[in-house]
Amino acid sequence: MFGKNEETKELNGPTNSLVSRTTEIVGDIHFSGELIIEGRIKGNIYAEDDSSALIRVLEKGSVEGEICVPSVIINGLVKGDVRSTKHIELAAKAVVAGNVYYKLIEMVMGSEVNGHLMLIGSNEGETKRLSNNNKKFSFDSKSLEKE
């Protein structure tokens, strides 16, 4: 039952990591799988662009640093740029103080970006700027209006 094969066998399937409410991490994080943040991170967070990595910043969670992860869901505070090569979702209580680089973005009413929204083009280095001079925009179903 507990032979050598069991001891050396690698874990299969997705791995999940949780930074709980009472935890603060200072330093960069490199991960795969899913990272759930309820606490506080002071550092950059990275995952491989071609991976299925996902980061979730929950309502009470905060990150002070850059996030470079393929799939991102934010409902807390991020002070730094966010780069997503697959999908980013900004939930109702999301606040991003930095630029957002995305391929596909979903923004719920109430989410806030204090920076530029940059579409990542088909060429990896190519981006298109959607906002101008850090002006705020409000979204409704009919049009895009400057506040």
Domain assignment of residue 6, yes or no: no
143 located within any domain: no
Question: Residue 42: inside a domain, yes or no?
Answer: yes
Q: Are strands 117-120 and 127-129 parallel, antiparallel or unpaired?
A: antiparallel
What is the per-residue pLDDT across 20-60, written as a single tens digit (0 to 9) for each? 999 999 999 999 999 999 999 999 999 988 889 999 999 99
Show the domain range for 73.
14-133
Q: Encode pLDDT of 79-125 as tens digits.
A: 999 999 999 999 999 999 999 999 999 999 999 999 999 998 755 44
Q: Cα(140)–Cα(17) distance, rounded to whole angstroms?
A: 36
The answer as to whether 115 is a domain residue is yes
Least confident of 37-41, 62-66, 141-145: 141-145
Tell me if 45 is assigned to some domain.
Answer: yes
- Work out how many domains the chain is built from and give that number: 1
- The Cα 9–Cα 102 span in angstroms is 36
- What span, in angstroms and rounded, lies between the C-alpha atoms of 6 and 143? 58
Judge whether 59 lies within some domain: yes
Please check whether residue 9 lies inside any domain of the structure.
no
pLDDT above 70: residue 144: no
Q: Which two tokens stand for residue 97?
A: 């103080």
Question: Who wins on pLDDT, 98 or 128?
Answer: 98
64 lies in some domain: yes
Burial of residue 80 (number of CB atoms within 10 Å: 0-12, 13-18, 19+): middle
